[in-house]
Amino acid sequence: MDKENARFATRCIHAGCRPDPTTGAISVPVYMTSTYAQTSPGVFKEPYDYSRSANPTRTALETNLASLEGAKYGLSFGSGVATIDCCCHLLNTGDHILLCDDVYGGTYRIFKRVFEQMGISITRVDMTDHDATRAAFTDKTRMVWLETPTNPTLKVIDIAAISQMAKDATGGKAFVVADNTFATPALQNPLSLGADVVSHSTTKYLGGHADVVGGALMVNDDDLHERLKFVQNSVGAVPGPMDCFLTLRSTKTLHLRMQRHCENAAKVAGHLVEHAKVDRVVYPGLDSHPQHNVAKKQMCGGFGGMITAFLKGGINESRGFLEKLQLFTLAESLGGVESLIEHPGIMTHASVPAEERAKLGISDSLVRFSVGVEDVSDIIDDIDQALA
C-alpha cells in the first residue's frame, strides 16, 4: 500500500515514517548530529552532508507535512515567522506585496517593520472584499499573502477566488501564499484551491501540545521549491531534530484532535450566542458568519477550534472574565489540546497600531478562544462561572 497517498488519517500516521533501516525502531529516531561522515571528499549519503541542509528526522517531518497538504514538497522551519522571512527573500527591492488586512500580529510586524524597511512595499486589503482586492494589485505585485480564517476576527477568505485573481491581475508573476495555521490540512487544503504555497506555524495545531515552536512551507512547483529551499539553507532558520521529532509525533493525531476541536468549538460558539453577557460571536460555522458560505465551500469536516467573541461592557468586564477563568489558561498562542484564551488588543496584536486595530474591530471587548479537547461540558461550565 502506498502510505504517502492513502487517506488523510492514514497519512497523518504513516507519511514520512518507516521503521529505521538499521534497527527496526518504529519511531523515527532523533538524529542528534550536526554533520555526516564522508567516505571520500564529496561522497556522502545524499542529501546528508550537514544538518542545516538536511537531517533525517527533519526529512521525515517534511515528508509527512507535504503529504498532509497534498503537496509535492515540504520545508520545515524554526518558527512560523521564519516561513514568512523565507518567502519574502524571493522578492526584490521595489516589489509589492498584497497582504490581507487581518493577520497574526507577528506577521504584520515582519512585513511592516522588517521588509518594508528594505524597499518592499505592502498594501493591506480586506480580501473578503473582492473589488477592493482587485484594485489593490500593482504592476509590481509579486506576492499575495493571505490567512484564512484570519486572526483574530476570523474572516474567511475565498482562496480559489483570490488565487485566480492574482493570476489574472499579474499574468502569473505573483505567487499566492496561504497561511493555513488556523484551519490545518485536516480541514482545508489551499494548494488544491489554487494557492502556490501553504505556510504554517506548526507551533499551533500541527504541534498541538504547546511544547514546540516551528513552521512549515508546502509547495508543488519544482522551481518555487528549489528557490525556497535555497533560501531556507542560506538563511538557516531550520528546526532542530528534537523539535522535528515532537512535531512529527503530534501530526499522527492531527485528524483526531481537529475533529474534537471542531465539535467542542461548535458547541461553545452555540452556547456563547445564547449568553446574555455576550454581545456577538464570530465563528465560521455559524449561519450568522458573513462568509459562512465560503467557509462551507472551502473547509471540510468542520470550522476549526477558534472563536472570537465580543463581550458586553468594556475593558474591565473583559479583564474580569479573563481573570476568573479556571480551566482556560490566559496565554498567547493557540491550537493546543488545552483551552487557551487571550485578549488580542493587549496581547497578540499589541504590535498592530491602535488605529489599525480599531479599523479591524479589535476592540477592548474582543476575546479570542482557542477551544481545547477537554470535555466540552467542563469548558462551558468554566465560561459560565467566569461570566456570572
Ligand X SMILES: *Cc1c(COP(=O)(O)O)cnc(C)c1O
- State yes or no: is 104 an active-site residue: yes
Catalytic residue among 3, 52, 227, 324: 52
Residue from the set 55, 79, 148, 291 that interacts with ligand X by CB under 6 A: 79
Nearest distance from C-beta of residue 170 to ligand X, angstroms: 24
Q: State the cell numbers at 233.
A: 539553507
# of chain residues touching ligand X (CB under 6 A): 16
- 199 closest CA partner among 143, 250, 267: 143
Interaction between residue 365 and ligand X (CB under 6 A): no
Catalytic residue among 73, 104, 108, 283: 104
Helices 376-387 + 254-274 axis angle, to 10: 30
Paired with 176 in beta bridges are: 144
Catalytic residue among 11, 124, 155, 204: 204
DSSP state of 115: I
Strand ranges, E, within the chain: 73-77, 96-100, 121-125, 141-147, 175-179, 197-201, 215-219, 278-282, 306-311, 329-330, 340-342, 366-370
Interaction between residue 232 and ligand X (CB under 6 A): no
Nearest distance from C-beta of residue 223 to ligand X, angstroms: 25
Catalytic residue among 85, 102, 179, 382: 179
Nearest distance from C-beta of residue 92 to ligand X, angstroms: 24
State which residue has the least CB distance to ligand X. Answer: 80
Q: Which residue's CB is nearer to ligand X, number 150 or number 170? A: 150
Which residues, numbered 174-193, are part of the site for ligand X (CB under 6 A)? Answer: 179, 181-182
Residue from the set 76, 141, 203, 308 that interacts with ligand X by CB under 6 A: 203
Reduced to 3 DSSP states, what percent helix, strand and coil does the chain have, rounded to the nearest 5? 40, 15, 45
Interaction between residue 80 and ligand X (CB under 6 A): yes
- State yes or no: is 283 an active-site residue: no
Strand ranges, E, within 88-229: 96-100, 121-125, 141-147, 175-179, 197-201, 215-219
**The one segment of 38-46, 74-82, 129-137, 349-357 that binds ligand X by CB under 6 A:** 74-82
Q: Are 123 and 98 in contact (CB under 8 A)?
A: yes
Nearest distance from C-beta of residue 275 to ligand X, angstroms: 26
- 232 closest CA partner among 212, 218, 220, 248: 218
Tell how far CA 282 is from the center of its chain. Answer: 19
Nearest distance from C-beta of residue 83 to ligand X, angstroms: 8
Q: Which residue's CB is nearer to ligand X, number 196 or number 382? A: 196
Q: Which residue's CB is nearer to ligand X, number 74 or number 106? A: 106
H and E: helices and strands count for the chain: 13, 12
- State yes or no: is 18 an active-site residue: no
Interaction between residue 81 and ligand X (CB under 6 A): yes
Q: State the cell numbers at 151.
A: 486572526
**Which ranges constitute the DSSP H helices of 208-303?**
222-235, 241-251, 254-274, 292-298
- State yes or no: is 142 an active-site residue: no
DSSP state of 50: B
Q: How many CA atoms lie within 13 A of 343 on its CB side?
A: 17
Q: Which residue's CB is nearer to ligand X, number 190 or number 215? A: 215
- Check whether the bond before 41 is cis (ω within 30° of 0): no
Paired with 278 in beta bridges are: 311
**The one segment of 78-86, 118-126, 284-292, 372-380 that binds ligand X by CB under 6 A:** 78-86
Which residues, numbered 87-146, are part of the site for ligand X (CB under 6 A)? Answer: 104, 106-107
Binding residues for ligand X (CB under 6 A) = 79-81, 104, 106-107, 147, 151, 179, 181-182, 201, 203-204, 213, 215
| Residues designated as active site | 52, 104, 179, 204
